[in-house]
Amino acid sequence: MAGTQLRHIAKWRGEIPIESLYTAGIGGQRFFKALKEKGKLVGTRCRRCHQVFVPSRQFCERCFVELTEEVRAQPDGVIKSFSYAYIDHNGGRLKHPVASALVQLEGATTVMLHRLLEVKDLSRVSIGSRVKAVIKPKGKRIGSILDIEGFRLVE
């Protein structure tokens, strides 16, 4: 309605029981296996467009070419974009904002989304900030993206 302002947004609390099973696929499994067993970050390079996907994939999303060349990315990278969350998923205010970033690892042309760790001063984070992946010790890795605890700013 013209002229009407929405001053109050109603919300309803509810629950939806959902259970899912996500498979990483052949390309993704390559990444998680290397991460779990060796603590390495692997990707795949497209021989046609030279895109380097990290995490690894089976097919190039641009060329639809099968990706067979495995490459190793470094745990060092650069922030390409970032965001802060000030509220949790229930709408409650967080004591400390949670920072997430799209990070391009050295050796990759794609970005991966993950948490930024120990960011107390948000003004220190910017596009172009250098970061390093923090990988859990071998005994604690399970073959999950959370085997990477997150990225830590490099001074």
Residue 48, interface with Zn ion (CB under 5 A)?
yes
How many residues bind Zn ion, per CB under 5 A? Answer: 6
| Residue 154 binds Zn ion, judged by CB under 5 A | no
Q: Which residues contact 10 (CB under 8 A, 6 or more apart)?
A: none
Tell me how far apart the alpha carbons of residues 23 and 51 are, in angstroms, rounded to a whole number.
23
* Three-state secondary structure call for residue 123: helix
Placement of tokens 């067979």 in the chain:
68
Tell which one of 37, 38, 49, 69 touches Zn ion (CB under 5 A).
49
Sites for Zn ion among residues 50-69 (CB under 5 A): 60, 62-63
Choices 48-56, 73-81, 119-127, 135-143; region in contact with Zn ion by CB under 5 A: 48-56
Q: Work out whether 46 is an interface residue with Zn ion (CB under 5 A).
A: yes
Nearer to Zn ion, 49 or 122 (CB): 49
Give the 3-state secondary structure percentages of the chain, helix then strand then coil, rounded to 5.
15, 35, 50
Runs of H (alpha helix) within the chain = 25-38
Q: Minimum Å distance from CB 102 to Zn ion?
A: 20
53, two tokens: 């996907």
* Residues in contact with Zn ion by the rule CB under 5 A: 46, 48-49, 60, 62-63
